[in-house]
Amino acid sequence: MTDRGEAVDVAIAGGGLVGASLAVALAGSGLAVRVVDPVTAEAPTQPSYDDRNTALAPASRRILEALGLWPAIAAEAAPIRSIHVSEQGAFGITRMDAAGEGLDALGHVVPNRVLGRVLRERLGQLPEAVQQVTARVEAVDWDDNDAVAVRLDGDRSLSARLLVAADGTHSVLRERLGIPCDDSDYGQCGIVANVTPARDPQGRAYERFTPEGPLALLPLRGGHASLVWTVAPERAEALAGLPDDAFLAALQDAFGYRLGRFLRAGRRAVYPLRLSRSRQRITTRGVLVGNAARTLHPVAGQGFNLALRDVAELAERLHVAAGRGDDPGSPELLRAYAAARRDDHRRVTAFTDGLVRLFSNRLPGLRLARNLGLLGMELFPAARQQLMRQAMGRGGRPPRLARGLPLETPTHG
């Protein structure tokens, strides 16, 4: 029998935003946690105009507040005060306003650079029970019922009672665990960039549906905006590679002049858009979270918010198990976690996938129906509130962190 290496309670494969958030959430649980990632990126010393950004729903902000992370994030978070939804060349629009709903913001847009820096700093401050391991997972093996053997590169290994796959859409660990994944190609690519319009968005986000797919502009600090522009694959690379003035002219044609002329564009990146769903989220002593479990279309910005709710639910159940002296990788715990997350995953997937397919469908008469629907939401607040409820990730029983409550590990005697 091979050396099983260091024995730990939880091994998290993937030290990105999701894996790091789970590690922070498990601090104080008393569990021995190892975050395994082959990359240890240093935080940039200067902010970059080309940083990618994430839109955080109110529940995600509450999770970050409960973890004590929000104060370090807030100064660079741009609030979303309102959302304007429209279809290019059509009459239907709907608006969602935070003040009208009794909220201070519908969400916040935060540079990924900031989220990564804050999480790295917190990881470095965690107790000795939570440590980072710079390594790559080479293989996993179940040679007994009490733990999973995780073989790392460099002849290293761990023996974990629970193995968490948080290594993203193209999860290597998901393959190692033998969990199949269903992919649906939307036939679209997303162009991601930061842009500067002549008029400051002043907290207004735009979701504009074009014949090729949705175009989202999210407000950033300093009068800038974060762009996610969905286009047909055959022209994505060419469009993204245009000189700045030609790219801005094409963007102007698609978006219009609600913010005046676009003055500046940062570096563009292109990503193929697919809906990726693992056929199961749990296996023997293994669980998938975040994009390893489900990767969504970026319309309405639901992906990272869904992942944070995965983190909140799993961390709460692991805290309770630790307090009771229970096995953190028991089948009962994992089945209960998967059941608790099932409806949220289904609801958000149906919402995002439905939006994309509805506004990409060119069937005669459907465009009129879509615009009547947008107009109806503008005229009837109840319909608009239902859309907002989905976009803000509400529904079902939220875990403690999503309610802004800290996790507590009950003692057992």
Q: Which of 214, 198, 196, 216 has the alpha carbon at shortest distance from 206?
A: 216
365's torsion region: left (phi>0), alpha (psi -120 to 50) or beta? left
User: What is the rounded CA–CA span in Å between residue 70 and residue 279?
Assistant: 34
Query: 190 and 250 in contact (C-beta within 8 Å)?
Result: no
pLDDT at 413 over 60: no
At residue 231 the predicted structure's pLDDT band, cuts being 50, 70 and 90, is: very high
Q: Are 19 and 164 in contact (CB under 8 A)?
A: yes
- Residue 363 has a pLDDT of 39
> Which stretch of DSSP H or E encloses residue 94?
strand 93-97
Cβ atoms within 10 Å, residue 399: 23
Per-position DSSP letters for 4-34, written without gaps between them: --EEEEEEEE--SHHHHHHHHHHTTS---EE
The 10s digit of each residue's pLDDT in 190-210 is 999 999 999 999 999 998 878
Residue 249 belongs to what H/E stretch? Answer: helix 244-255
Q: How far apart are CA 215 and CA 208, in angstroms?
A: 5
By residue count, the chain amounts to 413
- Which of 128, 172, 130 lies closest to 150 in space, CA to CA? 172
User: Are both 6-78+109-183+275-403 and 189-273 of the same fold?
Assistant: no
What is the per-residue pLDDT for 299?
63
Q: Is the pLDDT of residue 23 over 80?
A: yes
- Predicted confidence at residue 379, as pLDDT, reads 39
> What letter would DSSP give residue 199?
S
Residue 227 has pLDDT above 90, yes or no: yes
> Does the structure show a pLDDT above 50 at 370?
no
Under the banding of pLDDT at 50, 70 and 90, the label for residue 371 is: very low
pLDDT of residue 354: 67
Contact status, residue 162 vs residue 32, Cβ threshold 8 Å: no
Rounded distance between C-alpha atoms, residue 19 and residue 292, angstroms: 11
User: Taking the alpha carbons of 296, 302, 303, 306 in that order, is the dihedral positive or negative?
Assistant: negative
Tell me what the pLDDT averaged over the chain comes to.
85
In CATH, 189-273 is 3.40.50.450:
no
Residue 195 Rama label (left phi>0; alpha psi -120 to 50; beta): beta
Q: What's the angle, vertex CA 346, arms to CA 304 and CA 374, rounded to 5? A: 80
- How confident is the model at residue 51, as a pLDDT? 82
| Pairwise CA distance, residues 150 & 162, whole Å | 10
Span between the terminal Cα atoms of the chain, in Å: 36
Whether residue 407 is predicted with pLDDT greater than 60 in this model: the reply is yes
Residue 183 has pLDDT above 80, yes or no: yes
CATH class of residue range 6-78+109-183+275-403 = alpha beta
- Closest by CA position to 83, among listed 72, 67, 99: 99
pLDDT at 84: 87
pLDDT higher than threshold 70 for residue 20? yes
* 169's tokens: 């859409």
Q: How confident is the model at residue 95 (pLDDT cuts 50, 70, 90)?
A: confident
pLDDT band at 147 (very low <50, low <70, confident <90, very high): very high
The CA angle 379-380-381, to the nearest 5 degrees, is 115
- Which among 178, 208, 171 has a CA at the least distance from the CA of 371? 208
Model confidence pLDDT, tens digit, residues 41-88: 554 445 678 788 999 988 999 999 999 999 999 999 999 999 888 776
Query: What pLDDT band is residue 384 in, cutting at 50, 70 and 90?
Result: very low
**Using CA atoms, how far apart are residues 401 and 312, in angstroms rounded to an integer?**
6
Give me the pLDDT at residue 79, please.
97
Which ranges of 11-100 would DSSP assign to H, the alpha helix? 17-26, 58-66, 70-74
d(CA 6, CA 260): 59
Q: What is the pLDDT of residues 305-338, one digit of tens each?
A: 999 999 999 999 999 999 999 999 999 999 999 9
Rounded CA-CA distance 367/87 in Å is: 9
Identify the helix (H) or strand (E) that includes residue 384.
Answer: helix 381-391
Span 143-148, mean pLDDT? 84
User: What percentage of the chain has pLDDT greater than the value 90?
Assistant: 63
Q: What are the structural domain ranges in the chain?
A: 6-78+109-183+275-403, 189-273
* Per-residue model confidence (pLDDT) at position 1: 39
User: Residue 313: which H helix or E strand, with range?
Assistant: helix 303-324
What pLDDT score does 43 carry? 46
Closest C-alpha to 26, from 60, 65, 67, 56: 67
